[in-house]
Chain A
């Protein structure tokens, strides 16, 4: 168990160092920081002084090491556009993205598994056919199009839900939440559906395929032969075995939900990290871009780690070596 965790941790560190290198390279190769700080008409002496001050005369690996050291402490410098610490910007935007991603993932997981199980158990019902057809559409339509369609119907035509922003938020310490106000919850609906739809259809199809596979196994046949109730056979035995791969893959998808939030946040002008990143790209705001990259990578790595551990906890075959 410990060896397993340590090995995974080591892998995670390697991934983070690699992403850090890319983020660091952004600083080096996108624009010239000295030029940016001093302007066009600085003297060569000034330039040299600032270069030394910033440590840019040091060898590459020394600079990278100090970058990593600062990054670990959450220190990415000032945003070039807003002239505020990047870390402050991130902390400000983080809750919006996490809340949106969380709701989207929850929606995708609950609805996806429910629909997947239903379509597997009742393959011939008209509802199953409909769900399968819809899931095909869900997989093939691009996210921004779904977002725009939802806005068109529910905001423009029906006027039920807002088309942009987070609504009212409450501050709990440094965290701002939209969960506690009516307008905050209303504002979440369309973006969460937009963001979660693709994953939901994916989870639905995956659950269905896994469930059908499990229902063909000998232990399900034997469970029936033992006279267990349909409920026990389907929702105890079959579902648990179905959920192992589904949860693993869904967990891994959580990272891409956060990453895909960029598109959804842009469509809905959702004040989260994705929007921050897009704006940073437009302005070549390198520190913000670098910080976003590292943070996104950190999410991926942490999620993968948690999923691995979950998998380990759920599947006894991984846990204990055969006696």
Chain B
């Protein structure tokens, strides 16, 4: 396993009490595997990614849980040691490709400083490696583009540059947080293909965060569905997508835009209501107010992840199956 997250809990201490934004989240990602993390906005996907990298910003903090990278526990490391891991062993791509690049430095400068920081290259070697990276992520004419500033690139090209930056030191884990959300549809497929390709070629593990089930279906090997800070279902993409075990996953699946229909994205049209705010998470199963299949037990006690056929789902519908066994 390249990455193991165990019982992660992210809290915000506020004046009105402690908010739990990520609650008891566990998963792992193997070499060469793409784990999709999917869920509505506010489900805690980004915070999970930031917690793994040790980049939570106050007042947020990792209140419990462990992060293991290639068998080494990294969540307790001092900042300097974590810093050396970030960019070197864990690469990150954020949502907004323009915002991620410093407007006052050329992409070449930003690329070279990243490589220099982690690999200590200099001079010709450094330049060659930077150019090779730009070529690898599909920037045409890297020699010429090297001295250009971020604003001189289109959105898709910028995201390629960001990916090059994330891959600069050959990380073994790539965390991509909604890498295509800010891009137009034609660009999305290319960026997804690029991430898939580099993961395969380098044997890196990928944690791909998105709210788009369509992206998951195209890219991921396994998928974790998050709702209100918890994983409600996790399994292989084939199992989860073909036979969703959690009513929330089923709702997400129904919301994948049908390409033939040509209609705009009507996200989650099939699920009534909205995800609860962190300070108003209902008792019992957090999803029960929106769940078409809820029954008494869902109102009072909270389901943990339990085996549901090949996958795991946090839903009382599957408790009976366990009992019968």
Chain B nearest CB, measured from A320 CB (Å): 6
Q: A219, B102: Cβ atoms under 8 Å?
A: yes
- Between A and B, 18 residue pairs with Cβ closer than 8 Å are A217-B99, A219-B102, A221-B94, A222-B99, A225-B86, A226-B86, A226-B92, A226-B165, A226-B168, A227-B83, A227-B84, A227-B118, A228-B87, A229-B117, A232-B113, A316-B106, A320-B152, A322-B152
B94 contacts A218, CB within 8 Å? yes
Give min CB distance, B179 to chain A, whole Å.
Answer: 12
For chain B, the count of residues having a C-beta within 8 Å of the partner chain is 33
| Contacts known (A218-B94, A219-B103, A317-B103); A226 close to B151, Cβ less than 8 A | no
Taking CB atoms, residues of chain B closer than 8 Å to A230 are 83
Chain A: minimal CB distance from B34 (Å): 19
Question: Which residue of A218, A225, A229, A322 is within 8 Å of B53 (Cβ)?
Answer: A225
- Chain B contact residues: helix, strand, loop or mixed: loop
Contact check, A224 vs B86: say whether CB atoms are below 8 A apart. yes
- Chain A CB within 8 A of B288 CB: no
Chain B residues with CB below 8 A from A221, complex form: 55, 94
Docked complex: A295-323 residues within 8 A CB-CB of B: 314-317, 320, 322-323
Residues of A within 8 Å of B106, CB to CB, are 316
Partner of B87, one of A227, A237, A244, A317: A227
Nearest opposing residue in chain A for B148, CB measure: A323
Contacts of B85 in A (CB 8 A): 227
Is the pair A222, B92 in contact by a Cβ cutoff of 8 Å? yes
- Asked whether B102 lies within 8 Å of A241 as measured between CB atoms, the reply is yes
A237 to B165, CA, bound (A): 15
Q: B interface vs A, CB < 8 Å?
A: 53, 55, 83-88, 92, 94, 96, 99-106, 113-114, 117-118, 148-149, 151-153, 162, 165-166, 168-169
The docked-state distance in angstroms from the alpha carbon of A224 to that of B83 is 8
Which residue on chain A has the smallest CB distance to residue B82? A227
Q: How many A-B residue pairs lie within 8 Å, measured between CB atoms?
A: 84
- Residues on B with C-beta less than 8 A from A229 are 83, 117
Q: How far is the CA of A225 from the CA of B110 in the complex (A)?
A: 13
Instruction: Name the CB-closest residue of B to A228.
Output: B117
Is A240 positioned at the interface, with any CB of B under 8 Å from its CB?
Answer: yes
Contacts A225-B94, A227-B117, A228-B114; A316 near B102 (Cβ below 8 A): no
In the assembled complex, the Cα of A279 lies from the Cα of B271 at a distance in Å of: 81
Nearest chain A CB to B57's CB is how many angstroms away? 8
Please, how many angstroms separate the alpha-carbon atoms of A232 and B83 in the complex?
12
Q: B55, B117, B166, B169: which contacts A232 (Cβ < 8 A)?
A: B117
Q: B117, A219: Cβ atoms under 8 Å?
A: no
Residue with the greatest number of chain A CB neighbours at <10 A, chosen from B85, B94, B104, B117: B104
Residues on A with beta carbons closer than 8 Å to the beta carbon of B117: 226-229, 232
Total contacting residues, chain A, CB less than 8 A: 26
B101 touches A222 (CB 8 A): yes
Which residues in B have their C-beta under 8 angstroms from that of A227?
83-88, 114, 117-118, 169
**Chain B: minimal CB distance from A48 (Å):** 66
**Quick one: which of A180-219 are within 8 Å of B by CB?**
217-219
B-facing residues in A225-268 (Cβ within 8 Å): 225-230, 232, 236-237, 240-241, 244
Residue among B83, B88, B94, B118 making CB contact with A222, cutoff 8 Å: B94
| One of A232, A316, A320 near B104 (C-beta < 8 A) | A316
Across the interface, A316 reaches (CB within 8 A) one of B83, B96, B103, B166, namely B103
Rounded to whole angstroms, the CA-CA distance of A224 and B85 in the bound complex is 11
- Is A322 touching B151 in the complex (CB atoms < 8 A)? yes
Which residues from chain A contact B96 at a C-beta distance below 8 Å? 218
Is A161 located at the chain interface by the 8 A CB criterion? no
Report how far A47 CA is from B47 CA in the complex, Å.
Answer: 87
Which one of A222, A315, A317 lies within 8 Å of B162 (CB-CB)?
Answer: A222
Q: Does A223 contact B (CB under 8 A)?
A: yes
Could you tell me if B151 and A219 are in contact, using CB atoms closer than 8 angstroms?
no
| Alpha-carbon separation in the docked complex, A323 to B94 (Å) | 24
Chain A residues with CB below 8 A from B100, complex form: 218-219, 222
B contact residues around A316 at 8 Å (CB): 103-104, 106, 149, 151
Known contacts A225-B53, A227-B83: A314-B92 contact under CB 8 Å: no
Give chain B nearest CB distance to A132 CB in angstroms.
20
Instruction: Find the B residue at minimum CB distance from A224.
Output: B55
Q: A314 and B104 in contact (CB under 8 A), knowing A222-B92, A225-B87, A225-B94?
A: yes
What's the Cα separation between A241 and B55 when bound, in Å? Answer: 22
Closest to B101 in A: A219
Question: Whole-angstrom distance from the CB of B193 to the nearest CB of chain A?
Answer: 22
Query: Can you name the residue of chain A whose Cβ is closest to the Cβ of B153?
Result: A323
Residue in B88, B104, B153, B166 whose CB lies within 8 Å of A240: B104
Contacts of A218 in B (CB 8 A): 94, 96, 99-100
Given A222-B99, A223-B102, A323-B153, 14 further pairs, Cβ under 8 A: A217-B99, A222-B94, A222-B101, A225-B53, A225-B55, A226-B117, A227-B88, A228-B87, A228-B117, A232-B113, A316-B104, A316-B149, A316-B151, A317-B149
Residues on A with C-beta less than 8 A from B168 are 226
When distances are taken between beta carbons in the complex, the residues of chain B under 8 Å from A225 are 53, 55, 86-87, 92, 94
